Amino acid sequence: MPATVPTPIFYLIPGLGADERVFQNLQPRLLGQTIVLQWLTPEHDESIDHYAQRMAARIPLDQECWVVGVSFGGTIALEICRTRPQARAILISSIPDADSLPLLLRLIRTTNIYKLVPPPLLKLFPRAGQWYFGVKNGREYQVFKEILRDMEPVYTRWAIDRLLHWDSEGVGRCLQILGTEDRVFPPGPAPVDYLIQGGGHFMVLSHAEEISQIINELARDPKAVPNVHWD
């Protein structure tokens, strides 16, 4: 009898300040067990690797699984995979290493302007955020406004600082799924495993069907996905 293929296990990590609502279109399409890892309140001056270890508490050390991270969630996914040798990271609207940080965010880091702007300020200008994150009108915009409303300032300020000063040296291989219209992490000269045409930074909602097809195919057979070569 042929060997039974184990059911894939997906750990889902939302973007900075977001929660399980961003996965409402993707999660039902994933062919396996899905577990959303909720953001934790950071400890005082907590390092990103220590934070990732706490986020990974629900993942058994020797479990084969996929850690799917959106935006800053992709950064945490890669950090989790440092401590979980059988886990593999899939990044949606995210970057594979600190060298891929776009120019705008590098300028923000250099000027330290992010330290002068309180995170709740974005809540006052949702339309500006809508443009930057590529959020469509209708249901997507409603979800976006709800997420803005519920953003926790302490966590948000910590996460922005850790993203801008991320030391990605030695980080492992990942699959990167990026949108062609992403203004936060625009495609650059470095190769991307999958480019979603018309996808913005919020494409986990708007292009969930395309993204789920890629992830499900990868989970069935990593060798079947073109241009992806795991270490």
pLDDT digits (tens, 9 = 90+) for 104-115: 899 989 888 777
Beta-bridge partner residues of 35: 11
The model scores a pTM over 0.85: yes
Assigned domain for 41 exists: yes
164-184 pLDDT, tens digit each: 999 999 998 899 999 999 999
pLDDT, tens only, 121-174: 666 667 888 888 888 889 888 988 888 888 888 898 999 999 999 999 999 889
Q: What is the pLDDT of residue 76?
A: 98
Q: What pLDDT, in 10s, does the model give residues 60-98? A: 999 999 999 999 999 999 999 999 999 999 999 999 999
Give the gyration radius of the chain's Cα atoms. Answer: 17
- Tell me, yes or no, whether 3 lies in a domain: no
pLDDT above 70 covers what percent of the chain? Answer: 89
Q: Is residue 49 part of a domain?
A: yes
Q: Which residues pair with 191 in a beta bridge?
A: none
- Does pLDDT of 230 surpass 60? no
The Cα–Cα gap between 126 and 110 comes to: 26
C-alpha to C-alpha distance for 119 and 155, rounded to whole angstroms = 10
Q: Is residue 226 part of a domain?
A: no
Half-sphere exposure of 165 (CA within 13 A, CB side): 16
At 177-210, the pLDDT tens digits run 999 999 999 998 888 999 999 999 999 999 999 9
Structural domain including 115 reads 9-219
Residue range 11-63, pLDDT digits in tens: 999 998 889 999 999 999 999 999 999 999 999 999 999 999 999 999 999 99
Which CATH number do you get for residue 91?
3.40.50.1820
Q: How many domains does the chain have?
A: 1
**Predicted pLDDT at 225:** 55
In a domain, residue 196? The reply is: yes
Rounded distance between C-alpha atoms, residue 26 and residue 91, angstroms: 14
In a domain, 224, yes or no: no
Q: Which long-range contacts (CB under 8 A, 24 or more apart) does 20-28 make?
A: 21/143, 21/146, 21/147, 22/70, 22/143, 22/147, 22/202, 22/204, 22/205, 23/204, 24/143, 24/205, 25/204, 25/205, 25/208, 25/209, 26/204, 26/205, 26/208, 26/211, 26/212
Dist. CA 54–CA 64, nearest whole Å: 18
Q: Are 151 and 17 in contact (CB under 8 A)?
A: yes
Helices (H), 69-227: 72-83, 103-111, 126-133, 139-149, 153-164, 203-206, 208-220
Is 229 part of a structural domain of the chain? no
Rounded to 5°, angle at Cα 114 from 111 and 118: 150
